[in-house]
Structures are given as structure tokens and as C-alpha cells.
Amino acid sequence: MNSNNPIVQPTVKGTLNEMVNTLTYITTTLGQFIVDEDTEQELSTPTQPEVSGLNNLLHCIKEAGEACYSQYLKERSQGVGS
């Protein structure tokens, strides 16, 4: 499931770090597609590939969240980080 997901790392800490980095990237990217409130002018419109890329990143984050929870349970049962 996660072998192709670059966000999933070998540890919970690593996966969470990659999730935060990816979410930061998404929020920065989405900030480019806003309306200037002073002029009410759209600054940029996302292209279809950009929208697809953001959708893919969101899907990867969802899967990484699921994997991270599994990692957490495994690490907890092994006493890692206690």
C-alpha cells in the first residue's frame, strides 16, 4: 500500500515530519491561487496538472496518516519511544 508513497517513512516521527512538510507545501501552493482582496483580482488560476498534483498529494497524505497510525501501534507494542 505505501511502498510507492514517498511521505511514508520507516518511523512515526519520520512520517509525521514528511506529512507536515507536504501540508506546508500544499498551503504555500494554494496561497498562489487566491484573490487579492484589495483589487478583487485573481492572482493566478491553477492548471489541470496543478490541480491533479494537489489531489495526488492529498491522497498520499491520507494514506500516510493511515500508515502512520499503524506504525504508531507497532512501535507502541515494541516499546519504541517509551
Per residue of the chain (82 residues), give pLDDT as tens: 467 899 999 999 999 999 999 999 998 888 777 766 777 666 677 889 988 999 999 999 999 999 999 999 999 999 876 5
Domain holding 32, by residue range, is: 12-76
pLDDT at 1: 47
Does residue 55 fall inside a structural domain? yes
Does residue 62 fall inside a structural domain? yes
Does residue 26 fall inside a structural domain? yes
Number of domain units in the chain: 1
Does residue 2 fall inside a structural domain? no
Does residue 71 fall inside a structural domain? yes
pLDDT at 40: 67
pLDDT at 79: 84
Q: Is the pTM of this model over 0.85?
A: no
Query: In sequence order, what E strands does 1-82 have?
Result: 35-36, 41-42
For residue 35, which phi and psi values (nearest 5 degrees)?
Answer: -100, 130
